[in-house]
Structure 1
Amino acid sequence: MAAVMQQRELAITLWRQTWPMAIGVLALLGFQLVDSAFIARLGTAPLAAQSFTFPLSFLIIGIQVGMGIAIAALISRALGAGEQARAKRLSSLVLIAGGAVIAVLAVALWLLQVPLFQLLGADETALTYIRAYWGPQLFSAWLGALLYFMYSVFRAHGDTRMPGKMMVLSSLINLALDPLFIFGVGGWEGWGLPGAAWATAVAFSVGLLLTGAKLRRCQWATMDDIGQEAVRSWRPFTGIAAPAMVSQLMPPLAAMLAIAAVAGLGDTQVAAWGLASRLETLSLMVILAMTMSLPPWLGRCYGAGDWGQIQQLMRLALKVAVIWQLSLGVLLALASPWVAMALAGNPEVQSELALLIRFMLPSYAALGVCMLVVSAGNALGWPLRAMLLSSARLFICYLPCLWLGAALFGWTGLAAGAAIGNLLAGLTAWVLLKRILSRPHRQAGASG
């Protein structure tokens, strides 16, 4: 009876910590899917052009997430040590330095756009659309990075409600502006594909203004002695940010290789793949939320040496991941013709997208297991194993199965191969976690 009550308390606490982030992730990923759905109404070529930009956009996101993880950790430690003034300096430092790093990266990606997109397989028609879209898209990505760094400051101070509210507000603004900027209103014909990026830029700008005003009211940032803080903190910051960014940059690299394989099959397939990528991240919203809410909890248990609760918590999290993702995946697979019809205007794209949904969505139950095990790595004292597992998921399980399936059976083989790769990754993660938790003290004491 006591064990049942403890499990119930763990489930309730997990729910309370996860649902605010789940709503925020749903809103953030939802407006990205809305972008693609509106762009699909412009035609296959614009949608394919946007799909080519996803891997490079994920590159920016990977770097900003790695920096956000590092700064949230440093601010949390400073607050825990009672160093309020240092926490304020760190907040200002990440906003300035992070904004500068993302700005430099955005300029480099703009200057190198033609060779990069040609390397990904974009033809001249796609490049024509990309040239008009890529500039405003990079600008909106920079604004989004600044907003994300502010969210990291709030999360470090224990405030998850403000980021969640801003994610929802930004998504609603983007949803309202998308059709106006893309298709126009009255006698104005709109901007077409670039309109989606400008709508996002406006939404992020509003979020920046409101979040920045709240940050000033909370007095969580200061410019006093920021130079000395930069000298003091760059080493610990790099020590945390570097491995986190490496882990975050592997999915964009894998996405580049995947889109290059899909590009050989045609524009219709590229367009369908882009929509499936958006649907993937949206369908994984609960998993993504748990990857944010679980590590701090696991870290406290790890620090206390409470491996019994760690095992219970991981079992509960994995059970939730499998049941939720499998149920959602099967439901979407059964409804795949209607889901594809809602997202894509072209009947050919709808057909190819429906095939991807049927094969890949149920396999995200296994992918969710792998994502949770990787996210638990740093909290449980084995970051190197987590990074290697993330690499194995992408470059040993996922991409080889995808390439082999495409080579043997075309589009159907590609979809089936991606699903098999996810299943292998989930199984590998489960075996690794079971092995580590069966010998927690020996594994925790090992390097990485």
Structure 2
Amino acid sequence: MPSFLARLRAAGSREPGAGNPILEGPVDRTLLGLSVPMIMAMVLVTAFGLVDMLYLGRYSREAMAAVSLSFPIAYLIHSIAGALGQGATSLVSRLIGGGDERQLRNFLWHALIVIGIFAAVITPLGLLLAPAALRRMGAEPGVTEGAILYTQVAFASSAFSLLPMVLNSLFRGEGDTIYPFKVMAVALALNVVLDPLFIFGPGPFPEMGVAGAAVTTAVSFLFASLMVLRELRNPRRRVRYDRAAWSWSPALLRGWANVSAPAFVANLSMPLSAYLITDMLAGYGTDAIAAFGAGTRLLSFVFLPTLGISMSMMIMVGQNHGAGRRDRVRETTLLTLRYALILMGVLSLPVILFPAWSLRIFTDEPTVIAAGVGLARWVTLARPMLSIVNITAFWFHAQGNGMMGMLPNFGMRVLLEPVGVWVGLKLGALQGGWLGMAAADLVGGVLCLALLFWRLGAYMRDAPAPVRPAAAPGAPSR
């Protein structure tokens, strides 16, 4: 496997005509080879928040609450970076599949310009508007001021978040998921070392509390940005600096925006769904809200591996779609469905069998655990169907169809889940709400599976007929 991973990483740095495992290698091994580093990188990104909360929890209760309060606003930066990254991965993979090397390198310059524009807009707007938005939430003054400090540092350093998250997506589009993992591993290691120094202020370091956690994250992502920018000088990279390739291309920007803009809307649907469900649960007390928070964090960890497989599928589908290899698009899609459902079933089993024990990872409050057992058991039982929703979304993204890619997640998060919870609460109180959420996952998964098979069938039927070589002069016709 290590030698195969090395070949897979090298695929993104080979010239046209050289062997590319994504286009030519065994689909199952290639998909798994892409997925393992992708999943590990996603775990590391999630670990950033956990490390901050671990140290801030030892610092003060108000510090933890401040970071939680700032999450919906600070999440805006990650939503933008994630959407730009999805669009970049889709576009790069299709350009590589189509063999358009000049436009591939031209896109890098467009990506750097767009990152600069977004950072220049986000930073002043965030610094100006975030404090008022946080004060309107009505939290304790100490918590609010801590949240303001955290978001000010986050918005002031937004360029450091955008650069590695977006540019790593270019490497993933090449088929290299290993280098982005290394970048995030170095950044997380820095975060682990620097967090206690800037939060607690031992020795010569200043005690900064909540602001220290934000500063540490900014420094870590600054280092990640430098690593990524340096790697773009690698002459063996297919995506690399090339001044001769630069030319202003509205078509490239449209191809990027066609995926990124709908992906941004889909990303915003997740906090919107959480807000709607939390609002409905408020009538059932603090324990219900806390159980929802602990349960969703638990489910997000269970769901991470299948999300990584789905994103790896997007790379393979994008490159093979660009190369006209529809047979490999179909094989990749069906294998991804199989792997995701099997993996999700295996990872869900311990939570389904031991829901209370699983919730204790995030809370030790008996009343919260009692309220969340139904969520941990029933929603986890149905959660494998949610992997189909993400696979469907990424399948459309891979081909540049952002609007169709937006519908599965947006419909699931904003329509089906809130409606399912609302109906369940009306019929069966809190436990009914959890069952309603599980039912929504089942319905959403079945609908997306039907949509995916319908469009995949049409995609294969529309494939151009293979061109037969012309018969030699004088050869008998068949």
Structural mapping, 1:331-370, within 5 Å: 331-344=350-363, 356-370=375-389
SS at match of 1:243: helix
> How far apart in 1 are the matches of 2:74 and 2:93?
28
Taking a change above 3 Å as real, the CA distance of residues 195 and 241 of structure 1, as seen in their structure-2 partners, is same
Whether the 8 Å CA contact 1:51–1:273 is kept in 2: the answer is no
2:36 match: 19
Q: TM-score by structure 1 length?
A: 0.81
Percent of paired sites with the same residue: 27
SS at 1:229's partner residue? coil
1:339-374: per-residue Cα shift (whole Å, max 9, x none)?
444434666666656664344333321111211122
Find the aligned partners of 1:127 and 1:147 in 2 and give their Cα distance. 29
- The partner residue of 1:221 within 238, 241, 247 is 241
Conserved 8 A contact 1:18-1:289? yes
Number of the residue aligned with 2:261: 242
Distance 1:356 1:443, change over 3 A: farther
- Equivalent residues of 2:127, 2:156 under 8 A apart: no
Contiguous gaps of at least 5 residues in structure 1: 1-7
- Structure 1 residue 398: Cα displacement: 0.9
Tell me, yes or no, if the aligned pair for 2:258 and 2:400 is still in contact at 8 Å.
Answer: no
- Match of 1:284, SS? helix
CA deviation after TM superposition for structure 1 residue 166, in Å: 0.9
- Aligned match for 2:340, one of 321, 329, 341: 321
Cα distance change, pair 28–129 in 1 and its aligned pair in 2 (3 A): same
Q: How does 1:122-271 map to 2 (within 5 A)?
A: 122-125=138-141, 126-139=143-156, 141-185=158-202, 190-218=207-235, 220-222=240-242, 228-229=247-248, 233-261=252-280
In structure 2, distance between residues paired with 1:431 and 1:155: 29
Residues 368, 236 of structure 1: alpha-carbon distance in 2 compared, 3 angstrom cutoff: closer
The one-letter amino acid of 1:94's match is A
- Asked if the contact 1:44–1:267 (Cα under 8 Å) also holds between the matched residues in 2, the reply is no
Q: Deviations over 1:63-88 (max 9, x none)?
A: 22222233344445555666655533
TM-score of the superposed pair, with normalisation by structure 2: 0.76
CA–CA distance in structure 2, aligned partners of residues 92 and 396 of structure 1? 38
1:401 equivalent in structure 2:
420
- 2:87/2:397 contact within 8 Å kept: no
| CA RMSD after TM alignment | 3.8
Q: Determine if contact 2:314/2:398 at 8 Å carries over to the other structure.
A: yes
C-alpha separation in 2, matches of 1:290 and 1:30: 19
Alignment of 1:113-124 (within 5 A): 113-114=130-131, 116-117=133-134, 122-124=138-140
Is 1:422 the equivalent of 2:441?
yes
Of residues 279, 289, 309, the one that matches 1:290 is 309
Give yes or no for contact 2:90–2:318 (8 Å, CA) kept in 1: no
Alpha-carbon distance between aligned partners in 1 of 2:133 and 2:281, rounded to the nearest angstrom = 16
For residue 101 of structure 1, report the CA deviation from its aligned partner: 0.7
1:161: how far off? 1.6
Q: Contact between 2:386 and 2:445, CA under 8 Å: does it hold in 1?
A: yes
State the shift of 1:163 in Å: 0.6
Aligned residue for 1:4? Answer: none
307-316 or 204-213, which moves further after superposition?
A: 307-316
Deviation at 1:43, TM superposition (A): 5.9
Cα distance between partner residues in 2 of 1:197 and 1:420: 39
Q: Number of aligned residue pairs: give it.
A: 436
Higher helix fraction: Structure 1 or Structure 2?
1
**Greater Cα radius of gyration, structure 1 or 2:** 2
